[in-house]
């Protein structure tokens, strides 16, 4: 596995909602650090969809509908949808 070089912001993901049964086993309350270099166990389908926004977010960018250092993302499985809250923090 590639080593995360520690560039950009730290991004912490928290599962805030889980509709149905997540096939990857994610549950409400799960928290993990995620980056463009480390999916941290996030389901591959979700990581694939999240990656463009994650790279923008991790490296300090923004989109017009984002407010501050918190964004929300949903997995692509509409029948068993998991919602993540992503928070970014400056590295110390």
With 0-12 CB in 10 A as exposed, 13-18 as middle and 19+ as buried, what is 61? exposed
Structure pTM?
Answer: 0.90
Beta carbons of 32 and 82 less than 8 angstroms apart: no
- pLDDT, one tens digit per residue, over 32-75 is 999 999 999 999 999 999 999 999 999 999 999 999 999 999 99
At 9-25, the pLDDT tens digits run 999 999 999 999 898 99
Q: Where are the domains of the chain?
A: 10-89
């Amino acid at each position: 596995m590639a080593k995360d070089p520690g560039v950009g912001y730290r991004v912490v993901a928290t599962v805030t909602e889980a509709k149905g049964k997540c096939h990857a086993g994610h549950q409400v309350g799960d928290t993990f650090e995620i980056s463009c270099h480390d999916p941290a166990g996030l389901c591959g389908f979700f990581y694939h969809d999240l990656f463009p926004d994650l790279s923008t977010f991790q490296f300090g960018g923004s989109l017009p509908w984002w407010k501050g250092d918190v964004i929300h993302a949903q997995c692509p499985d509409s029948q068993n949808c998991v919602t993540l809250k992503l928070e970014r923090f400056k590295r110390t």
